[in-house]
Amino acid sequence: MPPFLKFLAFDTSTDRMSVAVTDGARTWQHSGPGGAQASTTLIPAVLALLAEAGLALGELDAIAFGRGPGSFTGLRTACAVAQGLAFGARDGAGMPVLPIDTLMAVAEEARSQQAGAKSSTITALLDARMDEMYVQSFEFSDGQCRALGECELLRPEDFVPDAAAGLLAGNVFAVYAGRLPAAMPAQAEALPTATALLRLAPMLAAAGHCVSAELALPLYVRDKVALTTEEREQAKAAKLLAEVPPLSP
Q: What whole-number distance in Å separates Cα of residue 104 and Cα of residue 123?
A: 9
pLDDT tens by residue, 110-161: 999 987 655 589 999 999 999 999 999 999 998 899 999 999 999 999 999 8
168-202 pLDDT, tens digit per residue, is 999 999 999 999 998 888 999 999 999 999 999 99
Q: Phi and psi dihedrals of 173, rounded to 5?
A: -70, -40
Please report the pLDDT score of residue 138 as a whole number.
Answer: 96
Domains in the chain, please, with CATH? 7-102+192-215 (3.30.420.40), 113-189 (3.30.420)
The pLDDT tens digits of the residues spanning 34-49 come to: 878 899 999 999 999 9
Supply the pTM of this predicted model. Answer: 0.87
Q: pLDDT per residue over 214-244, tens digit each? A: 999 999 998 655 445 664 566 666 666 666 5
The confidence score (pLDDT) of residue 248 equals 57
Count CB atoms within 10 A of the CB of residue 75.
23
Report d(CA 184, CA 164) in Å as an integer. 12
